[in-house]
Structure 1
């Protein structure tokens, strides 16, 4: 039996290729697990449930437009007044995803795109799971339609929030107003300002964090926009005072 020199062996070539790709494979594995945990944190503030979906005989409640309504708690629903729906969950989640993505862009250039892609993928896994579990959207074609709409919304969020981050709070507030509030005229502008302040605060916290603190997947957002109430009220009084003097 002829012996093949190790350097010319097909197995040796395969082993060499595996060694060359090992860092990328390891990075992919780590990024997948970490972004899965980060996505759960992004989705947590807007979480809701639809108990009726667990009962085949129950009817899922809807609003006047036929949109299915769930049951949610926390600042975004109880104080801000948003209705627990799939679209509102997505927009609340997008705000938190966006803040994380801003920080992930600061990862080394060879790492950032992979992490951003994994975070985006995790978002759509979570969205599809929510459609099946809570909204009983079992038809694949219908789910894909919903997910396509969600992807379009995410692209719009990225563009508009990036513009706001660069151009200032007024532009960012306008972007939040369009995306989160659907450009409603009856929006509470004090609470809108709280959301903007919250985004600025959390982006600052992320900016001060190390890459490892974000990449380990254990990052947690601090509180909710309600913590900005005092700051917003103080700024509002200052503006009113300056206006009165003028």
Structure 2
């Protein structure tokens, strides 16, 4: 359970630690939905890598549990939502987004870049975003999947993960 908490914390910090990449380079709005989408993408990246480990299903479920506990806590404490009915409605919406995103990202991973681009366009860019920005994120996802896949189990399970160490340049922009 402790390692999944560490995994989750790495995912949850991606927007704040790489704000320039996500907000400026990718052009995403600075809001709760973007935090959810960026965190979700990184949770999915780790879920893919966890599939290669013993007890993968347990680890994946714990990681997702951390994510959804944090979503609820952020709604209650950061955004001061106190109505259980409103929180439950949002939680159902986020759960549907999560499951749809996992399926779309899995399909994009197994197929090709246009399928991954479509998944990112729907789930991260909420059906907005320039082709260059979407292509940049496809590069980012492919790069991170490759880095995670190349990690040995010991380093991975010790949470020695550094996302975005080589953030791709915006595609199609002169000088990049």
Unaligned runs of 5+ in 2: none
Corresponding residue of 1:40: 9
Contact 1:37 1:218 in 2 (8 A): no
Aligned-partner SS, 1:74: helix
Pick the aligned partner of 1:94 from 40, 44, 52.
40
* Aligned mates of 2:15, 2:148 — CA distance in 1: 20
Once the two structures are superposed, what CA deviation does each residue of 1:123-147 show, in whole Å capped at 9, x if it has no partner? 0111111112221012222212211
Using structure 2 for the length normalisation, give the TM-score. Answer: 0.90
Pick the aligned partner of 2:168 from 228, 237, 241.
228
1:233 Cα shift?
A: 4.2
Inter-CA distance 133–223: structure 2 relative to 1 (3 Å threshold): farther
Contact 2:136 2:169 in 1 (8 A): yes
Which one scores higher on RCO, CA 8 angstroms, separation ≥ 6? 2
Aligned length: 174
Once the two structures are superposed, what CA deviation does each residue of 1:145-165 show, in whole Å capped at 9, x if it has no partner? 211111110000111111111
* Aligned mates of 1:212, 1:152 — CA distance in 2: 33
Q: Is it true that 1:126 corresponds to 2:95 in the alignment?
A: no
Unaligned runs of 5+ in 1: 1-31, 49-71, 237-246
Q: Is it true that 1:195 corresponds to 2:137 in the alignment?
A: yes
Corresponding residue of 2:153: 211
What aligned pairs does 1:75-154 form with structure 2 within 5 A after superposition?
75-108=21-54, 111-154=55-98
Q: Determine which structure has more spread, i.e. the larger CA radius of gyration.
A: 1
Contact 1:45 1:74 in 2 (8 A): no
